[in-house]
């Protein structure tokens, strides 16, 4: 077949998208016969598959896109990549599909993680034991809820459907717990009412945007809101962790609130350079990630101050948290999403495995349980990097790590 083809020189193909123009130089060969081409149909929306970002053509052009940089982590980023042959291309598509399934499977451990708390709260409410619910800090639950809602917007923007389901599940389950706390009187009703309005509006806005039913102006206002809310909450939560060793004040949150409004205003009015605008645009996702990253720090600080309370931690809950976040690591690495990878890996190491270390040191869990969970976690990380290296055709996992961090 190849011997009957004649080289006919080079041609230049250009994308029809003016904002992302890629040029391809390819050696063309004249086929025996040219089939009648179907009429070109304009693509309505982007899909996260291997071939749909390229114009329909009788020529199949394969190419490698530049990895996303850290500042561009919140920009929708197609993961279509090229490879040198049909076998590599099939391998890439299979790993794409498999990592998406891993991320979707994270719903199972995260759901199991929240259900015991919801059931326990319901039993206490039915028994009239409202005081038991005061042991659950509503401010910490509210922080997690805000983080989930911000990350929901982030992943909807990236069209990561499986992770959108994970974040939506997180929003719903935490909101159920907060509702139980409000019923018990632990959370003030005015705070609960405002939270309910924000959650309802957030879910509607996010899913309207996911199904392309939302005005872009409304989406920009929503992004500004979660950016300001996240930037205000993060330093206040970090400060509150160390009370009473630091003064009990809202000054960190107030200062961050003013700075957040100033940053958003300057970004929207074009008074920042391009990199500054990108930085402000990525703040909502990064602040949500940092809120989650701070949760294990707060827990380990509590363990350090009150070692006797470590026995109250559930080893199964820590293991489920490690499994849920670990399942999302391959997808984050595959899509070169530094923000997602950082948050998931941090939660695995410091919240899941880190608390297991504390439980093992206090002889709460057996040596076999600790070694088995540690070995499985390390093996999963090694497998994720090894498989990613094979799919991209690299010789070393350090190349994947470099692309993830620097975007080049």
Closest CA to 227 of 397, 394, 74, 101: 74
Mean pLDDT of the chain: 79
371-404 confidence digits (pLDDT tens): 999 999 999 999 999 999 988 888 899 998 898 8
pLDDT of residue 98: 94
The pLDDT confidence band at residue 34, using thresholds 50, 70 and 90, is very low
DSSP notation for 326-379: HTTHHHHHHTT-HHHHHHHHHIIIIIIIHHHHHHHHTTSS-HHHHHHHHHHHHH
- For the segment 247-262, the average pLDDT, to the nearest whole number, is 93
Q: pLDDT tens across 279-289, in order?
A: 888 888 888 88
Q: List CB contacts of 394: < 8 A, sequence separation 6 or more.
A: 400
Task: Give the model's pLDDT for residue 198.
Answer: 92
pLDDT tens readout for residues 189-245: 998 999 999 999 999 999 999 999 999 999 999 999 999 988 998 898 888 888 878
Identify whether the C-beta of residue 397 lies closer than 8 Å to the C-beta of residue 386.
Answer: yes
Give the separation between CA 302 and CA 243, rounded to whole angstroms: 11
Task: Render pLDDT for 44-81 as a digit per residue (tens, 0 to 9).
Answer: 444 444 344 333 333 333 333 344 444 455 554 445 44
Whole-number pLDDT of residue 408: 54
H-helix segments, 56-137: 86-105, 107-126
Name the token pair of 406: 């620097």
Pick the closest to residue 189 from 201, 199, 179, 198 (CA basis).
179
Closest CA to 163 of 210, 95, 111, 104: 104
DSSP-derived letter for residue 7 is E
SS3 at position 222: helix
Q: Which of 220, 294, 301, 305 is nearest to 264 (CA)?
A: 220
- Other C-beta atoms closer than 10 Å to the C-beta of 338 total 25
Across the range 164-177, mean pLDDT stands at 91
Contact between residue 203 and residue 187 where contact means Cβ atoms under 8 Å apart = no
- Of 331, 340, 341, 333, the C-alpha closest to 400 is 333
- 0.85 surpassed by pTM: no
Q: What percent of the chain has pLDDT over 70?
A: 76
Q: Are strands 23-30 and 6-14 parallel, antiparallel or unpaired?
A: antiparallel
pLDDT in tens, 116-158: 878 888 998 999 988 888 867 787 788 788 888 988 999 998 8
pLDDT band at 83 (very low <50, low <70, confident <90, very high): very low
Residue 163 clears pLDDT 80, i.e. is over it: yes
Q: In this model, does residue 30 exceed pLDDT 70?
A: no
Burial class (CB in 10 A: 0-12, 13-18, 19+), 261: middle
Res. 321: pLDDT tops 80:
yes
Q: For 295-301, what is the mean pLDDT?
A: 77
DSSP 85: S
pLDDT at 24 over 80: no
User: pLDDT at position 312, please?
Assistant: 62
Q: Note the pLDDT of residue 32.
A: 47
Determine the Cα–Cα distance for residues 107 and 170; give it in Å rounded to an integer: 9
Burial of residue 364 (CB within 10 Å: 0-12, 13-18, 19+) is middle
**Which of 191, 202, 192 is closest to 167 using CA atoms?**
202
H-helix segments, 127-160: 138-158
Give the model's pLDDT for residue 224: 92
- Give pLDDT tens digits for 93-117: 899 899 999 999 998 998 888 888 7
Select from 138, 336, 323, 147 the least CA-distant residue to 230.
147
Q: Maximum CA pair distance of the chain?
A: 85
171, containing H or E segment: helix 161-184
């Amino acid at each position: 077949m190849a011997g009957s083809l004649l080289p006919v020189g080079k041609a230049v193909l250009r994308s029809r998208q003016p904002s992302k123009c890629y040029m391809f130089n390819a050696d063309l060969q004249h086929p025996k016969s040219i089939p009648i081409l179907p009429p070109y149909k304009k693509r309505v929306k982007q899909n996260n598959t291997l071939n749909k970002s390229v114009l329909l053509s009788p020529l199949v052009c394969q190419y490698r896109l530049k990895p996303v940089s850290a500042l561009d982590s919140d920009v929708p980023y197609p993961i279509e990549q090229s490879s040198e042959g049909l076998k590599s291309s099939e391998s890439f598509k299979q790993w794409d599909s498999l990592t998406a399934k891993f991320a979707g499977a994270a719903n199972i451990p995260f759901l199991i993680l929240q259900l015991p708390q919801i059931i326990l709260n319901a039993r206490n409410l039915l028994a009239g034991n409202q005081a038991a619910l005061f042991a659950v800090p509503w401010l910490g639950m509210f922080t997690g809820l805000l983080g989930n809602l911000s990350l929901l917007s982030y992943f909807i923007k990236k069209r990561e459907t499986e992770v959108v389901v994970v974040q939506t599940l997180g929003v719903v389950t935490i909101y159920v717990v907060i509702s139980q706390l409000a019923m018990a009187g632990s959370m003030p009703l005015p705070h609960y009412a405002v939270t309910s309005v924000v959650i309802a509006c957030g879910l509607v806005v996010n899913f309207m945007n996911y199904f392309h039913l939302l005005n872009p102006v409304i989406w920009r206002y929503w992004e500004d809101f979660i950016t300001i809310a996240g930037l205000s909450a993060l330093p206040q939560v970090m400060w509150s962790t160390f009370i009473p060793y630091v003064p009990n004040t809202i000054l960190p949150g107030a200062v961050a609130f003013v700075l957040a409004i100033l940053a958003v205003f300057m970004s929207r009015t074009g008074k920042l350079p391009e990199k500054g605008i990108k930085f402000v645009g990525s703040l909502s996702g990064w602040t949500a990630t940092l809120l989650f990253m701070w949760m294990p720090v707060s827990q380990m600080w509590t363990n350090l101050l009150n070692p006797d309370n470590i026995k109250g931690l559930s080893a199964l809950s820590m293991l489920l948290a490690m499994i849920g976040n670990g399942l999302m690591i391959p997808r984050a690495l595959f899509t070169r999403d530094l923000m997602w990878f950082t948050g998931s890996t941090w939660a695995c190491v410091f919240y899941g495995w880190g608390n297991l270390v504390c439980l093992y040191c206090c002889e709460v869990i057996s040596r076999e349980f600790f070694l088995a969970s540690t070995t499985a976690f390390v093996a999963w990380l090694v497998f994720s990097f090894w498989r990613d290296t094979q799919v991209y055709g690299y010789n070393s996992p350090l190349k994947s790590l470099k692309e993830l961090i620097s975007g080049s």
